[in-house]
Amino acid sequence: MATAPTYCTHRQLKDVFPQLDSFDNKRALYGWKEVTTNKYAAHNSGLTTQLFADGEDLGSAQSAHTDLNVEGEWFYNSAEDITYYYSASTPSDKLMEAGEEFSALITRITANASRFLDAKLDPNLPREQLKDKEGNYDYIIVRTTALLAATFLIRSHDPTSEVATAMMEDAMGNIDALNKGGAALSWQTTGDSSKGVVRDVTYTSGSIRPVDTRGRWSGSWDLLRVKVTTAGALGTAKYSVWNKSGDKLKDNQIVTDEIITGDFQVLASGLQVRFGGSADDSVATINNEWEVEVAGWQEEVDNSSINSVKMTRGGYRTRGFGKY
């Protein structure tokens, strides 16, 4: 059966909230009394979903206290609020704790934070597209979920914590930005998508690389491949470009061994690219490669925060500029 996604991991939560480990919810149990040989009881123990002895997880509870006959077995009687424990040695000489395995606690808290985020995000945002092209959730989604999880965890110990309040404000600010289009997710078409988004595939540090693009992409969405085919300085090095074919990306060569000049040069379908290096004597390295993600300039911008503006000039009113 499919399960709802959790947007951040234990590691990511700790990156956002390094003090995470200090919020383990285990609590010590005291007042153990021997009720029969090797069987001990702690009255008024509070809900015990898991029992630990000197940090060791004692496993699942038995079905009844009458079933306890093996070292380390335990049972919680919810009707009488009594925790039973079987041991040949007195639990008074051990650190007995009730609580939840910390990893299980984090799994539950991050799942709750993810469902809270789902409830707060605009329903028009497709949940499966919260991931980037590598299958990872966008960092703003990860961070916002981690902030919410940290808030829930802190408030379970201190409901009036100022730290928790600050984290919740940060998280709600992110949610507000996502809902109003003030923060772009990787899947969204932005106002500059038609100019191309350049990403390294293979790059040698210090080499000549694409540093700028201009123009507007006149086709539909595509993922271009740009590759250095001849090494050397400006005027010697060469590059080639591929776009999508009928059934594959980066498969159809459209620019072949073009000399890199350092000025704007042809990329594809209305776009130009300019190469440059970190120094005047930088050189291009053969087989360095980039991908350029492009969207057509006529495609609708997702969640744009650009609004209409009314303008006047010389006493005459003009129409507001809007999205057509």
Mean pLDDT of 61-72: 93
Predicted local confidence at residue 313, as pLDDT: 47
127-181 per-position pLDDT tens digit: 655 666 667 888 899 999 999 999 999 998 899 999 999 999 999 999 999 888 7
Predicted local confidence at residue 305, as pLDDT: 47
Rounded to whole angstroms, the Cα distance separating 110 from 137 reads 14
Hey, what's the torsion of the CAs at 239, 245, 251, 255, to 10 degrees?
-10
DSSP, collapsed to helix, strand or coil, labels residue 135 as: coil
Instruction: Write down the H helix ranges in 132-257.
Output: 139-157, 162-180
Handedness of CA 10, 14, 16, 17 (dihedral sign): positive
Predicted local confidence at residue 320, as pLDDT: 45
Q: How far is CA 181 from the centre of its chain?
A: 18
In the sheet with 289-294, reading across from the earlier edge strand, the strands are 197-202, 289-294, 222-230, 238-243, 252-259
pLDDT at 113 over 90: yes
Rounded to whole angstroms, the Cα distance separating 91 from 199 reads 60
pLDDT at 300 over 70: no
Mean pLDDT of 204-222: 88
Predicted local confidence at residue 167, as pLDDT: 96
187-212 per-position pLDDT tens digit: 555 555 557 788 899 999 999 999 98
Predicted local confidence at residue 324, as pLDDT: 38
Mean pLDDT of 55-84: 93
Predicted local confidence at residue 88, as pLDDT: 94
Please report, for residues 39, 71, 87, 152, 158, the alpha-carbon distance to residue 98 in angstroms, rounded to integers and kept in the order given. Answer: 17, 17, 16, 20, 19
pLDDT band at 316, cuts 50/70/90? very low
pLDDT at 101 over 70: yes
Q: How many CB atoms lie within 10 A of CB 213?
A: 20
Predicted local confidence at residue 186, as pLDDT: 65
Of the given ranges (20-29, 75-84, 311-320), which has the lowest mean pLDDT?
Answer: 311-320
Q: How far is CA 289 from the centre of its chain?
A: 27
pLDDT at 39 over 90: yes
Q: What is the mean pLDDT of the chain?
A: 85
Predicted local confidence at residue 138, as pLDDT: 87
Residue 28, token pair as written in the block:
């010590």
Percent of the chain with pLDDT over 70: 84
The answer to whether residues 269 and 218 touch, using CB atoms and an 8 Å cutoff, is yes
pLDDT band at 237, cuts 50/70/90? very high
Rounded to whole angstroms, the Cα distance separating 192 from 219 reads 14
Predicted local confidence at residue 321, as pLDDT: 41
Give 228's contacts (C-beta < 8 A, 6+ positions apart): 207, 208, 237, 238, 239, 260, 284, 285, 286, 287, 288, 289
Rounded to whole angstroms, the Cα distance separating 158 from 19 reads 14
Please report, for residues 71, 115, 174, the alpha-carbon distance to residue 10 in angstroms, rounded to integers and kept in the order given. Answer: 32, 16, 20
Instruction: Output the DSSP codes for 87-120.
Output: -SS-GGGS-EEES--HHHHHHHHHHHHHHHHHHH
The answer to whether residues 302 and 237 touch, using CB atoms and an 8 Å cutoff, is no
Closest CA to 187 of 243, 249, 125, 118: 125
User: Global pTM?
Assistant: 0.55
Which residue would you say has higher pLDDT here, 132 or 83?
83
pLDDT at 15 over 50: yes
Rounded to whole angstroms, the Cα distance separating 285 from 282 reads 10
Please report, for residues 212, 248, 256, the alpha-carbon distance to residue 252 in angstroms, rounded to integers and kept in the order given. Answer: 23, 8, 11
Rounded to whole angstroms, the Cα distance separating 320 from 241 reads 40
Predicted local confidence at residue 149, as pLDDT: 96
Give 143's contacts (C-beta < 8 A, 6+ positions apart): 8, 16, 174
pLDDT at 317 over 50: no
Of the given ranges (50-54, 87-91, 296-300), which has the lowest mean pLDDT?
Answer: 296-300
